[in-house]
Structure 1
Amino acid sequence: MKRDNVDGLVNVIRFAAAARVKALSRLSTISVYSWGHRITGKTVMREDDDFDQNLDAVRADIGYVKSKWVMEKRADAARGLPLITFRVGYATYHAQTGAPTTNGGGGS
């Protein structure tokens, strides 16, 4: 996950910053916010809330949310690049066909 989410982003940032600056669009997850309620007790998180308050919950994740958290920190640190974040709550697709899940749960 680090290779895809973090190292891949580093390459995209390099490209976006090369020669003429390009806007950077980031697809991330609400998970960097949503796990923290177990620790903080907050039931609402806003986009401008510091998701570092959820770090203890992120550390407990098996890897995906950790890699997204690091990715977001790296993108936010990329000074001078126009950045927009699209957050999805649940996006899972079949690895072979690309079809979205229809069962509302994990996997296909």
Structure 2
Amino acid sequence: MGIKIQLSKARENPFARSPTLNTVLMVEKFIERNSGDFNIRGFWENLPKKIMWQTYLVILDYLQSINKIAIDSEEKIAYIWSPETAAFYSKRKRVKI
């Protein structure tokens, strides 16, 4: 619950840092390699390059909104993106009602 409040505050802040593509990719790759090992703050403290907390929250919000990561009740981050599953569903015919 705490992460939702923090992420929504970061999203509403007009002065929040806009991350570069390289920064987003760095965070995503680090989460992918260390999925489930750290909580939100632990990932931030162990990133290969230091970034601002607000920027980090914006990146987490983005990755969560495109279903690449999930955050559990203990605030541990897991990488959930599966290219194989995405390819499978993208090839399916749409169901018409």
- Above 0.5 in TM-score? no
**By percentage of residues, which structure has more helix?**
2
Give TM class, smaller chain: under 0.3
TM-score w.r.t. length of structure 1: 0.24
Higher relative contact order (CA 8 A, sep 6+): 1
TM-score w.r.t. length of structure 2: 0.26
